Amino acid sequence: MASSHHHHHPPHILIFPFMAKGHTIPLLHLAHLLFHRRIKLTIITTTGNRPFIANFLGWNSDDPNIIDLPFPSQIDGIPQGIESTDKLPSISLFTQFAIATKFMQPHFEQAHSASSQMSQPSWTLESANKFGIPRLSFHGMNNYSGAVGHQVFVNGLFSGPESDDDLITVTGFPWIKITRNDYDEPFNQRVPTGPHLDLVIKSTIAAANSYGLISNTFYELVVDYLNRESKPKVLCVGPLCLAEPQPPMVEARVHQPQPKWMEWLDQNLAQERSVVYVAFGSQAEISRQQLEEISKGLEESQVSFLWVVRKNDDETNVVVKELEERVGERGMIVREWVDQIEILKHESVKGFVSHCGWNSVLESICWKVPILAWPMMAEQHLNARMVVEEIKIGLRVETCDGSVRGFVKADGLKKMVKELMEGEKGKEVRMKVEEIGEGAKKAMAEGGSSWRTLNELIDNLQSLRNGSDLKS
């Protein structure tokens, strides 16, 4: 650590994650890194999210360094008590949920006591400016997606093609080709409009006017993206999933009984069977028809599989129960929360059928597990292009009509699972993910690019604090 980290008055950092697991978890990994650098931390959350955060950090549930804010009630379409996007009845309610966080601003300002912030909601910029606090925006997407999106919208690339599946050359990155179908509404429209777009614009402006933009990636992975024109400069401090947990968290895990899925993975390892891990994140909405094809494809692949199913409705339960009965011990279906990192670390796991959420991509890289990309929503289609076409650590699932959003039949899934686990292309991407995984570990190790960037950021905040009247 740089010498300034030993000062008597290090910067006090307040972390305010957006209420979604995909945003919260990497920021809590960042909290581990800051904690080990002797940085004073305060976490802002809501009452409903407090237990998850305290458990993840290994802190007591009543720790005074976790501050609760009341989440607004009586939001149209959002049932009372839902305070995280993974609990929403439908992801179509995301925009209303995100806009509702604005009503937390007065409570947030009452709770302010930190001298710098790492935060997500765009309105925190207003609050930070009001109190003279430097705001650091956390960039949950990868730099590739951000840079491609910037070129698409600045240059109006979606105004031309007739078909949603026509390939478009990306201005500034001529080797990258995308389609309109790589984006969700309203961003795939010729003239995008609507409240979701307004929300993204506000967030983008807030990020551009922040003190810094923290990105959960490492420079060696995406050297040439985003910092060409980015304001402020992007600070790559990841992959944050490689942050070592605090001792209390390690001890808590040691004393917990081993979950059934871990026992099953151990059995597969003992029998020298390779496992493909299947998970589509906490927010993907998959139809009954598509679930049935997944079920059939996994069964017919003859590959051992661990499938995490988030949805717990009658239709889903019928499909997966029938699959369990047909495949016996060759497959395991888990319906509760799992520690994805522990699964990807396991020696028996040799492939990952993934929605390509950025956290999942990074975790695959760090534990050197090649991906079968099956993007569902948000920027996942761009992540999938990066995984398959740019850094070549995975293959793409085969849709029945060849389009990026096409239906996946059992035969297509079976074919690509077998290719990933046993084929020549699977061997190629396995070698590539080994190489990039080593680069990730070097970036986070002492003296690596991400290690240096975080230390430099702390030094800069220290200097800023010592040279100003910021409150502590």
Give the pLDDT band of residue 448 (cuts 50, 70, 90): very high
Question: What gap in Å lies between CA 153 and CA 231, rounded to an integer?
Answer: 16
Give the pLDDT band of residue 116 (cuts 50, 70, 90): low
| pLDDT tops 50 at residue 247 | no
Assess contact for 96 and 124: CB atoms under 8 A.
no
Using CB atoms within 10 A of its CB, is residue 160 exposed (0-12), middle (13-18) or buried (19+)?
A: exposed
| pLDDT tops 80 at residue 309 | yes
Question: What gap in Å lies between CA 184 and CA 102, rounded to an integer?
Answer: 24
Mean pLDDT of 171-179: 91
Instruction: Provide the sign of the torsion angle of the four alpha carbons 233, 238, 244, 249, taken in this order.
Output: positive
The rounded percent of the chain whose pLDDT value lies above 90 is 47
Q: Say how many C-beta atoms besides its own lie within 10 A of residue 107's C-beta.
A: 16
Q: What pLDDT digit, counting tens, does each position of 354-390 carry?
A: 999 999 999 999 999 999 999 998 899 999 999 999 9
Beta-carbon contacts of residue 431 (< 8 Å; ≥ 6 apart): none
